[in-house]
Every structure is written in C-alpha cells, then in structure tokens.
Amino acid sequence: MTPELKARFDEAIRNNKIVLFMKGNAMFPQCGFSARALQILQQHGQVHTVDVLADPEVRQGIKEYSNWPTIPQVFINGKFVGGSDILMELEERGELAEMISGKGA
Amino acid sequence: MLDPNAIRERIAGALPGSEVDVRDTTGTGDHFEARVVSPAFAGKSMVEQHQLVYAPLQDWLKTGELHALALKTYSPEQWKKFGNR
C-alpha cells in the first residue's frame, strides 16, 4: 500500500462518521453482503461509501489497511468495526447505535 | 477435509478457559460455524475477538482447507446478556 493510498483511507475515515468500503455504490450494490451492510448502516445515519470495484488498488489496499480479508468493511468514528457478519451481530445486540452515537466501546 | 474437533482443540488451546462449539455447516469439512465464550474477550471489540479465534487457524485458512468459519464470540458477561437469543 502506497503512503498516498493510506493517506486517502485516513482522510475518508477521519472526515466521515460512518464509512463503508463496498462492492458497488449506494445506488447499485454489486454484492449481497455489501447491500445488507449498507441497509443496516443507513438506518443509523448518513453513510460515506467507497466502491472497491472502481479501483483494484483500493480493493487490495483496504484489506491491508484494516488487516481484514474480506469486503465489505465498516469504519465508525475512525475505528475499524468489521465486516457484514459483525455488523449484523452488533445490530442484533443493540450495540451499533451506541457505537455510532459514541457512547459504546 | 477438517474435523470440527480439530478446529475446536486449536481454538481451546489458544484461548484457555474458553467454551468452544464447532459445527460443520455443509457436511463437506470446509465450512464451519463456531461459538466461542472466552474470558480473553472481555473488553475487546468484536473484530479483536474474531482475530483471536482466527489466529490459531491461520495455516488452514491460508491453504483454503478451512474455507469459511462463521463466528459468534462472547465474553462471559456478553454470553449472559446475549447468549440466549
């Protein structure tokens, strides 16, 4: 991962409360897991999406950045939260709302 | 082809004092789900909890011998709160 790419990730995550690295965009998700993650997050606020299919460097780079092997990937309040399974589990436990409001761990 | 017990033993070995259940979800020995309750998870984010479980399985994940492992992880306190859903 180039320093420029890392700086782009840092900036996207710093400037947006909820960031979703996904396959496709908010209008046209290209993968069921990405679509599900987007749907859950949108219930909690505005979601900044990054389409990893638009740039192979981003698709590979984000996996190194978070040390997580799969897409989608969710960042909330500057912190890596996980993929779609973790997101669904956090939503079921009622912890996602707390995390987004900044009250949770 | 992996045996659920082999996976369970590795996880339990890496996380002493844990309660570990592993199930073969497809009957093909490469897709599994695991439920892990461990004191080592206390105060950790879910990503950190999952990474602790994946760590002792890295070689199987890399070779693709273990293709998928769906995880539910709980600290003992979380298990009391969320385990019976």
Query: Is residue B24 within 8 Å of B47, Cβ to Cβ?
Result: no
For B50, phi and psi rounded to 5 degrees? -65, -40
Opening angle at CA A38, ends B58 and A47, nearest 5: 110
Mean predicted confidence (pLDDT) in A48-54: 98
Name the minimum distance, in Å, from the CA of A15 to any CA of chain B: 22
pLDDT the model gives residue B83: 87
Contacts of B31 in chain A (CB under 8 A): none
Q: Is the pLDDT of residue B5 over 70?
A: yes
- Asked whether residue A105 carries a pLDDT value surpassing 60, the answer given is no
Q: What is the Cα B68 distance to its own chain's centre?
A: 11
Which chain B residues are within 8 Å of A92, Cβ to Cβ? Answer: 82, 85
Residue of A nearest to B61 (CA): A69
> How many contacts (CB atoms, under 8 Å) link A and B?
26
Mean pLDDT across chain A: 95
Residues B26-72 have pLDDT tens digits of: 999 999 999 999 999 999 999 999 999 999 999 999 899 999 999 99
Task: Give pLDDT, residue A81.
Answer: 97
Contacts of B66 (CB under 8 A, 6+ apart): B2, B7, B30, B32, B57, B60
pLDDT of res. A74: 98
The average pLDDT across B4-33 equals 96
Residue A20 φ then ψ, to 5°: -125, 115
Looking at residue A103, its pLDDT comes to: 67
Whether residues A86 and B46 touch (CB distance < 8 A) is answered with yes
> Which residue, B29, B65, B36, is CA-closest to B52?
B36
pTM comes to 0.87
- Give the H/E segment covering residue A20: strand A18-22
**Chain A closest-CA separation from residue B82 CA (Å):** 7
Is residue A59 scored above 60 in pLDDT? Answer: yes
Q: Which amino acid appears at position B48 of this protein?
A: E
